[in-house]
């Protein structure tokens, strides 16, 4: 070991002696060496802590960047959700409108079906009347065209219908 001479203030010398007594080192030189060893250890720990702190700052910056990206994505998705909700409201309104139109068209269809049934009934009635009139006209035409003997037969037995004509001939 090399010898070193150090000039210290009285209070520093007292602190060095107290250090030596507290750590059972026996001398001020041993206390000073112990303090220097501890200083090296603390400096190494300090350097390690600074490195760790720098690493944590870098990680914090990365996390902040990621957080900003997540916030941006959240905002974008929030806007998209708002947009989709607006579209959904429009679609629901259109559905309600179309359901109203369907109800209206179903009611109109029911009305038209009823009107058609009534018209068909009237047509059937009219067709029956037309058939009756045609058959009466045909009977009257036969009466007019018939001779005296035919008219006598018609008087006794009635004027045959068109259906019966084909069978009688």
In order along its 169 residues, the chain shows pLDDT tens digits of: 788 888 889 999 998 889 888 889 888 888 888 988 999 999 999 999 999 999 999 999 999 999 999 999 999 999 999 999 999 999 999 999 999 999 999 999 999 999 999 999 999 999 999 888 877 777 777 777 888 888 788 788 877 766 544 434 3
Structure tokens at 10: 């009285």
CA 41 to each of CA 18, 34, 132: distance values in angstroms, whole numbers, following the listed order = 21, 11, 129
Q: What is the pLDDT of residue 169?
A: 34
Taking the CB of residue 19, how many other CB atoms lie within 10 A of it? 17
């Amino acid at each position: 070991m090399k010898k070193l001479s150090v000039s210290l203030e009285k209070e520093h010398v007292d602190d060095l002696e107290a250090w030596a007594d507290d750590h059972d080192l026996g001398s001020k030189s041993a206390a000073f060496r112990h303090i220097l060893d501890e200083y090296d250890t603390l400096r190494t720990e300090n350097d390690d802590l600074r490195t760790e702190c720098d690493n944590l700052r870098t990680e914090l910056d990365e996390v902040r960047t990621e957080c900003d990206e997540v916030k941006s994505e959240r905002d974008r998705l929030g806007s998209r959700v708002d947009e989709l909700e607006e579209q959904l409201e429009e679609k629901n309104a259109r559905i309600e409108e179309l359901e109203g139109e369907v109800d209206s068209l179903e009611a109109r269809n029911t009305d038209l079906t009823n009107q058609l049934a009534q018209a068909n009934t009237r047509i059937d009635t009219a067709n029956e009347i037309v058939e009756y009139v045609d058959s009466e006209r045909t009977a009257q035409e036969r009466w007019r065209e018939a001779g005296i003997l035919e008219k006598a037969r018609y008087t006794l037995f009635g004027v045959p219908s068109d259906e019966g004509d084909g069978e009688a001939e």
